[in-house]
C-alpha cells in the first residue's frame, strides 16, 4: 500500500513524506489531484517553485472528470496529470476555466516531454465561464481514437472561491467537461530518452524548475537547448547573466563561491548568490566538505564531532572535518541552544514566572488563547538570544521588526531600541543595526498581553538583499542547563541563573527588586533565593535549573501526525474501513528501527513522552484487515536534548 502522510515531529519540525506519486499501472476512469498547501499568491509559478513540488504533495485525491472540488480553501496549488483518450478520430478544441491562475498542457503523444501549454486562465473566472479570456480556448487539435495523450493541469489558488475545469468539443458533440470515459491516471511511460534515468530526470528537473520560476514558455524539446554545447541549458545561462553562445563561461565563477557555473547548474545552486541556502557557509565550502548547499540545517550539524557546529568551524577558519582542529573559545564550558530561551509569566509585569523553555523563533499568533499554562489575558513573556550576523564580508545593516498585540520592548546589546509598552492591536515597529561579518549582538524582546488577541513576532531582514534571515542559523542562546558561569551584563548574576529565574540576561538588573521585601536580584542570588517569592532554591545550582523549570513536563518529546492513505501500491482505492491499524517503527539508528508501537486505525497522531537523549528516527506502515503490510514510509527524525 502507498502511504501519503505528513509527520510533524516536536513543536517546530515538519517533514513531509512523499506518497506513491505514480501508480504502477494506469487506471481507467480517474485521475489524481495532487495538492500543496500554505503557498501564498495566485500564480502557478509560486506552486512550481515550491521545494515540495512535484515530488511531495501534501494531499492526494481522485476525481472522475476534469472538474475539481469547489472551495477547498486558500493559499494552495494543485497538479493533475494523466492521459486523455478521445472517443473518435477528429479535431478537438479544449476550454479551460479556473479561479485563480490555471494552465492546461497537452502532449502530442503519451510522453510528457512532448507537452505544450495550449490553454490558460491568467487571472480568474467564474465556474463554467470559458470565454472571459481568449487564452481559455485552445487551437484545434487532431486526435486519434485508441491513442492516449498526456496532459497536465497546473492550478494556483490565493483567496476566496476556488475551482478549475477542462471541457472539450469534438466530432459529434458540443462543449462538455472531459468525462471519466476519456480519462486514465498517470503512470511512468515505458519509453525514456536516450540517456540514463538519473541524467534525464536531473536535467529535466533543473530546466523545469528554472522555467517555472521565470514564467518562461513551456518548451517540449528534450534534451533542452544548449547552443554552445557547454552542458548548461540556454535559459539558465540567460537567467544568470552568462552567454549561451560562449562555452568558456561554463568554467567561470561569477559569484566567487568556488563553484563554476557548470557545477552550479547541476547542483541547483544559484549563480550570483555565493550562499544559496543562506546558512552562512558558502556553496563551494559546503560541497568540498560533503555538505548540502541547498540545506540550511547542516550548518548547525557537527560533522567531526568536536562539539562545534559546521558554521562555527567555518567562521573560525578551522577544519570542519577534523576533530583535532577546533575554534578558540573564551569560556570552555560555554554551551548554546539554537533559538531563544523563553520566560513566560502570569501578569503583565512579569509577576509570576510559569515556565522557562527553548523556542526556535518568536513567531506566535495565539488568537484569543495563550502559551503553556498561562491565562488567555494578562500575561507577559521575555525572549533572550544572541544574533550572529551570517554575512561573509563588509558591513551589513539588519532590520529587526517586532509585531505585537499588545506591548513590546526590544533590547539590542543591552540598549532599549523599541519601547511601546501600551495596549494596542497588532502593530509593527523596526530598528536597524549595522554589523560586521560574524559579529554578535545580544537580543531580548519583552511582551505583554492585556486582552483580546495575542500576537508576538520578531523578524530580521538583511537590508542588502531584502531577504529574511534563517532563524536556525543566526540565533543562539546560553543553555540554562549548562555549567558555564558567564555574566554577560556584568551585574553579578550568571547568565544561566538569570535565564532560569526570569530576569533580563542582557541588561544589568542585579540591583532591581522583584519582591515586597526590598531584596535585590543580586542579594537573592547570593542567598540562594527566588528573586520574586524569596523561596529557597537550594535544589538549583548557581548555574543550572531543574528539569521542571526549563521544560513543560506535560509536553510530548515528539508528536507524529498523519492522514490515512487513499490508495494501495497497485493504484486501487483504500477505504478507511479497510485499515486495521498502523505500525510506528522508531529507533536511534536510521538503518535499524528496532522499536515498534501499534496504533488504532482511527488515530491520526501519536505522542512520544519517554525518549532518551539523542537522535531518533521514525517511520510508519499501514496494515489492512487482511494482514497486508505497506512498505515503510520515508523516515522523519528528531533530536532530543
pLDDT in tens, 498-524: 888 989 988 889 899 998 888 898 988
- pLDDT tens column, 307-323: 678 888 888 888 888 87
So what's the pLDDT on residue 54? 84
Burial class (CB in 10 A: 0-12, 13-18, 19+), 379: buried
222 confidence band (pLDDT: 50, 70, 90): low
Strand partners, 529: 536
What is the residue whose three cell numbers read 540554562?
480
Give pLDDT, residue 483. Answer: 61
Which of 353-362, 372-381, 481-490 shows the lowest mean pLDDT across its residues?
481-490
In this prediction, residues 144-155 reach a mean pLDDT of 94
Q: Does residue 100 have a cis peptide bond before it, meaning omega lies within 30 degrees of 0?
A: yes
Overall average pLDDT of the 103-115 stretch: 88
544 vs 125 pLDDT, higher one: 125
| DSSP type of residue 577 | G
Secondary structure letter of residue 283 according to DSSP: H
- Cell digits for 4? 501519503
Asked if residue 72 has a cis previous peptide bond (ω within 30° of 0), the answer is no
Euclidean distance between the first and final Cα of the chain, in Å? 35
User: pLDDT tens digit string along 68-105?
Assistant: 999 999 999 999 999 999 999 999 999 999 999 999 99
Percent of the chain with pLDDT over 90: 37
Query: What's the pLDDT score for residue 17?
Result: 28
Residue 566: closest CA among 62, 70, 63: 62
Half-sphere exposure of 244 (CA within 13 A, CB side): 13
pLDDT at 191: 41
Average pLDDT value for residue range 217-225: 58
Judge whether residue 16 has pLDDT over 50: no
Q: What is the pLDDT of residues 37-69, one digit of tens each?
A: 999 999 999 999 998 888 788 999 999 999 999
Q: Which of 197-211, 318-332, 558-572 has the lowest mean pLDDT?
A: 197-211
Domains in the chain (CATH in brackets) are 20-185 (2.60.120.1560), 197-296 (no CATH), 329-533 (2.60.120.1560), 558-640 (2.60.40.10)
What integer is the mean pLDDT of 8-22?
28
For residues 467 and 209, which has the higher predicted lDDT (pLDDT)? 467
Question: What is the rounded CA–CA span in Å between residue 41 and residue 406?
Answer: 29
Residue bearing the bigger pLDDT, 332 or 455: 455
Q: Which of 22-36, 214-228, 338-352 bottoms out in mean pLDDT, i.e. has the lowest?
A: 214-228
Q: What is the pLDDT of residue 578?
A: 79
Q: Which of 134-143, 259-268, 490-499 has the lowest mean pLDDT?
A: 259-268
pTM (2 d.p.): 0.37
Question: How many DSSP H helices and E strands does the chain contain?
Answer: 10, 32
What's the burial of 119, exposed, middle or buried (CB within 10 Å: 0-12/13-18/19+)? buried
Q: Does residue 540 surpass a pLDDT of 50?
A: no
70: number of Cβ within 10 Å: 11
**pLDDT tens digits for range 271-316:** 778 888 888 899 888 888 888 888 888 888 888 877 678 888 888 8
What cell was used for 514?
A: 522583584
Cβ atoms of 559 and 10 within 8 Å: the answer is: yes
Whole-angstrom distance, CA of residue 84 vs CA of residue 149: 5
**Mean pLDDT along residues 206-230:** 61
What pLDDT, on a 0 to 100 scale, did the predictor assign at position 230?
72
Give the pLDDT of residue 333. 44
Residue 551 has a CB neighbour count (10 Å cut-off) of 18
Calculate the average pLDDT of the chain.
Answer: 81
Interatomic CA distance for residues 512 and 372, integer angstroms: 27
Amino acid at each position: 500500500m502507498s502511504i501519503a502522510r505528513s509527520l510533524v515531529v516536536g513543536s517546530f519540525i515538519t517533514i513531509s513524506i512523499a506518497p506513491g506519486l505514480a501508480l504502477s499501472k494506469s487506471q481507467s476512469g480517474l485521475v489524481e489531484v495532487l495538492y500543496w498547501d500554505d503557498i501564498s499568491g495566485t500564480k502557478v509559478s509560486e506552486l512550481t517553485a515550491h521545494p515540495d513540488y512535484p515530488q511531495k504533495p501534501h494531499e492526494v485525491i481522485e476525481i472522475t472528470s476534469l472538474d475539481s472540488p469547489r472551495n477547498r480553501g486558500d493559499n494552495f496549488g494543485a497538479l493533475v496529470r494523466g492521459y486523455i483518450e478521445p472517443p473518435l478520430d477528429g479535431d478537438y478544441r479544449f476550454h479551460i476555466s479556473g479561479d485563480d491562475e490555471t494552465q492546461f498542457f497537452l502532449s502530442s503523444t503519451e510522453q510528457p516531454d512532448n507537452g505544450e501549454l495550449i490553454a490558460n486562465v491568467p487571472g480568474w473566472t467564474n465556474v463554467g465561464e470559458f470565454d472571459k479570456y481568449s487564452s481559455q480556448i485552445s487551437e484545434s487539435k487532431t486526435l486519434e481514437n485508441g491513442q492516449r495523450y498526456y496532459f497536465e493541469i497546473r492550478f494556483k489558488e490565493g483567496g476566496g472561491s476556488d475551482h478549475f475545469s477542462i471541457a472539450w468539443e469534438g466530432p459529434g458533440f458540443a462543449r462538455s467537461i472531459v468525462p471519466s470515459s476519456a480519462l486514465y491516471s498517470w503512470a511512468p511511460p515505458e519509453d525514456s530518452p536516450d540517456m540514463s534515468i538519473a541524467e534525464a530526470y536531473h536535467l529535466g528537473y533543473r530546466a523545469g524548475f528554472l522555467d517555472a520560476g521565470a514564467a518562461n514558455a513551456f518548451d517540449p524539446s528534450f534534451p533542452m537547448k544548449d547552443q554552445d554545447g557547454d552542458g548548461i541549458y540556454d535559459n539558465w545561462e540567460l537567467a544568470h547573466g552568462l552567454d549561451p553562445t560562449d562555452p568558456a563561461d561554463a568554467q567561470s565563477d561569477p559569484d566567487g563561491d568556488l563553484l563554476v557555473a557548470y557545477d552550479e547548474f547541476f547542483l541547483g545552486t544559484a549563480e550570483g548568490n555565493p550562499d544559496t541556502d543562506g546558512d552562512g557557509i558558502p556553496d563551494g565550502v559546503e560541497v568540498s566538505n560533503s555538505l548540502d548547499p541547498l540545506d540550511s540545517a547542516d550548518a548547525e550539524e557537527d560533522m567531526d564531532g568536536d562539539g562545534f557546529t559546521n558554521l562555527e568551524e567555518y567562521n573560525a577558519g578551522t577544519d570542519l572535518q577534523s576533530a583535532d582542529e577546533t575554534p578558540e573559545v573564551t569560556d570552555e564550558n560555554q554551551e548554546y541552544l539554537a533559538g531563544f530561551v523563553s520566560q513566560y509569566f502570569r501578569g503583565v509585569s512579569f509577576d509570576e514566572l510559569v515556565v522557562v523553555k527553548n523556542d526556535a523563533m518568536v513567531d506566535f499568533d495565539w488568537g484569543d488563547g495563550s502559551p503553556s499554562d498561562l491565562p488567555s489575558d494578562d500575561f507577559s513573556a521575555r525572549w533572550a538570544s544572541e544574533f550572529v550576523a551570517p554575512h561573509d564580508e563588509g558591513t551589513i545593516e539588519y532590520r529587526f521588526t517586532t509585531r505585537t498585540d499588545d506591548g513590546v520592548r526590544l533590547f539590542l546589546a543591552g540598549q532599549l531600541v523599541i519601547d511601546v509598552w501600551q495596549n494596542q492591536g497588532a502593530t509593527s515597529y523596526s530598528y536597524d543595526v549595522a554589523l560586521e561579518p560574524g559579529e554578535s549582538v545580544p537580543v531580548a524582546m519583552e511582551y505583554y498581553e492585556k486582552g483580546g488577541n495575542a500576537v508576538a513576532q520578531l523578524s530580521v531582514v538583511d537590508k542588502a538583499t531584502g531577504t529574511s534571515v534563517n532563524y536556525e542559523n543566526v540565533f543562539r542562546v546560553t543553555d540554562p542547563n549548562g555549567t558555564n558561569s558567564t555574566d554577560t551584563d556584568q551585574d553579578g548574576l550568571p547568565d544561566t541563573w538569570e535565564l532560569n529565574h526570569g530576569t533580563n540576561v542582557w541588561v544589568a538588573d542585579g540591583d532591581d527588586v522583584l519582591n515586597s521585601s526590598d531584596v535585590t536580584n543580586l542579594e537573592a542570588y547570593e542567598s540562594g533565593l527566588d528573586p520574586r517569592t524569596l523561596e529557597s532554591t537550594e535544589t538549583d545550582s548557581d548555574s543550572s535549573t531543574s528539569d521542571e523549570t526549563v521544560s513543560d513536563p506535560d509536553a510530548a518529546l515528539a508528536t507524529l501526525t498523519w492522514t490515512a492513505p487513499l490508495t494501495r501500491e497497485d493504484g486501487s482505492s483504500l477505504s478507511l474501513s479497510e485499515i486495521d491499524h498502523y505500525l510506528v517503527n522508531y529507533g536511534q539508528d536510521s538503518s535499524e528501527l528496532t522499536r515498534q508501537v501499534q496504533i488504532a486505525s482511527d488515530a491520526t497522531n501519536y505522542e512520544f513522552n519517554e525518549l532518551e537523549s539523542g537522535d531518533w528516527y521514525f517511520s510508519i506502515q499501514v496494515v489492512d484487515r487482511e494482514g497486508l503490510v505497506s512498505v515503510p514510509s520515508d523516515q522523519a527524525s528528531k533530536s532530543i536534548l
